[in-house]
Amino acid sequence: MTALPKSIDDTLALLRAQDYVAERSLATALFLALKMERPLFLEGEAGVGKTEVAKVVARALGRSLVRLQCYEGLDIASAVYEWNYQRQMVEIRLAEATGKAAREELESGIFSRKFLIKRPLLEALDHGDAEPPVLLIDELDRTDEPFEAYLLEVLSDWQVSIPEIGTIRAKRPPIVVVTSNRTREIHDAVKRRCLYHWVNYPDAQRELEIVRRKAPEAPERLSREVVAFVQKLRAADLFKLPGVAETIDWCKALTALDAVALDAATVDDTLGVVLKYQDDIAKVRGAEAAAILKEAKAVAAA
Ligand SMILES: Nc1ncnc2c1ncn2[C@@H]1O[C@H](COP(=O)(O)OP(=O)(O)OP(=O)(O)O)[C@@H](O)[C@H]1O
Ligand SMILES: [Mg+2]
């Protein structure tokens, strides 16, 4: 267990020590979220490092990470708790076999904690006296509105009620990171409870530092050219722009091919590492890639 960071600079250093190179504005939002015990809401394009923030914070602070992956149709049984029907059935059979006294005990016993299966939200609240975990509510935009409404309650009161048992309340709130790819707008009421930060694509300098840390095996010249290329590519009119994850992947892929610098043929052959839509690849491959490559080489050499 590590103490919470004491300043924004402290927060930047804490992230960096885990190889996460953050913008100062993100470190500010995170610092405040930790200090004020408020959830951090991260929105941004795919692959810009939203999910990674939660993982890195858990690692840096020595907390456990509880992850709730959202999807359409996510329900209470998968997100909060579920009764262990199999074990309850066994208990019922045993009571039937042993007689009346056991049967009377059965009713209270069967809906006790012993038969409760904790799902991520309950697990994150019901941590007893241990240090609160980091709760990652990932890709909230994939769920539906009723779930959001439920979540709103959890995030405001740090409690869930289970009819058969009562209310379970967190002694201390977990550290919460909510992410969204903004495929739809999240309700204002949820956002209001959180501190909000839009995660941007990094500038060239920050992206190069990320690559140096995440793909250290890549030769320096190659990394520079890849970063310059991807930065230019993000200005192109594409259906889906490459994220940081793609830049890292590209550096690793090219290194695996023993490349020490970009060349037009290799770029064309490996575009599928950076672009994931055939229309985008078809558009860039050839003349446009060559033009971007020329500019990128000039920038990287400077
Ligand atoms: N600022 C950063 N510093 C270090 N690594 C980063 C940074 N941003 C992104 N990465 C790396 O990029 C990869 C993708 O990050 P992550 O999965 O967090 O993206 P995401 O925003 O959650 O994407 P998606 O919306 O697709 O889930 C990870 O391997 C992560 O380590
Ligand atoms: Mg993610």
The residue whose CB lies within 8 Å of the most ligand 1 atoms, and thus the one to mutate among 23, 48, 137, 213, is 48
pLDDT band of residue 101 (cuts 50, 70, 90) is: low
Burial of 90: CB neighbours in 10 Å, binned 0-12, 13-18, 19+? exposed
Closest atom of ligand 1 to 15 CA is: 3
Q: Is the pLDDT of residue 37 over 70?
A: yes
Q: Which of the two residues, 1 and 94, has the higher pLDDT score? A: 94
In angstroms, the CA 40 to CA 179 distance is 8
pLDDT tens-digit profile of 250-298? 999 999 999 999 999 999 999 999 999 999 999 999 999 999 999 999 9
What is the Å distance from ligand 1's center to 46 Cα? 8
In angstroms, the CA 131 to CA 19 distance is 24
Share of residues in the chain with pLDDT > 90 (%): 86
Q: What is the pLDDT of residue 100?
A: 65
The answer to whether the beta carbons of residues 175 and 61 sit under 8 Å apart is: yes
Among residues 60, 77, 72, 73, the alpha carbon closest in space to that of 17 is found at 60
Q: Is the pLDDT of residue 67 over 90?
A: yes
Ligand 1, residues at Cβ distance < 6 Å: 19-22, 44, 46-52, 179, 181, 210, 214, 244-245, 248
Closest atom of ligand 1 to 55 CA is: 18
The answer to whether the beta carbons of residues 154 and 121 sit under 8 Å apart is: yes
The pTM assigned to this predicted structure is 0.93
In angstroms, the CA 90 to CA 152 distance is 36
pLDDT band of residue 102 (cuts 50, 70, 90) is: low
Q: Which of the two residues, 164 and 180, has the higher pLDDT score? A: 180
pLDDT band of residue 14 (cuts 50, 70, 90) is: very high
Closest atom of ligand 1 to 42 CA is: 21
pLDDT tens-digit profile of 192-219? 999 999 999 999 999 999 999 999 999 9
> For ligand 2, a single-atom ion, which residues have Cβ within 5 Å?
51
Half-sphere exposure of 36 (CA within 13 A, CB side): 12
The residue whose CB lies within 8 Å of the most ligand 1 atoms, and thus the one to mutate among 68, 180, 205, 244, is 244
pLDDT band of residue 93 (cuts 50, 70, 90) is: confident
Q: What is the pLDDT of residue 231?
A: 98
Which residue's CA is minimally distant from atom 7 of ligand 1? 49
Q: Is the pLDDT of residue 1 over 70?
A: no
DSSP H/E element including 7: none
pLDDT tens-digit profile of 213-242? 999 999 999 999 999 999 999 999 999 999
pLDDT tens-digit profile of 110-155? 888 889 999 999 999 999 888 999 999 999 999 998 899 999 989 9
Which residue's CA is minimally distant from atom 4 of ligand 1? 20
* DSSP bridge pairs for 176: 135
Classify strands 116-118 and 40-44 as parallel, antiparallel or unpaired. unpaired
Q: What is the pLDDT of residue 181?
A: 94
Q: Is the pLDDT of residue 107 over 80?
A: no
In angstroms, the CA 195 to CA 40 distance is 5
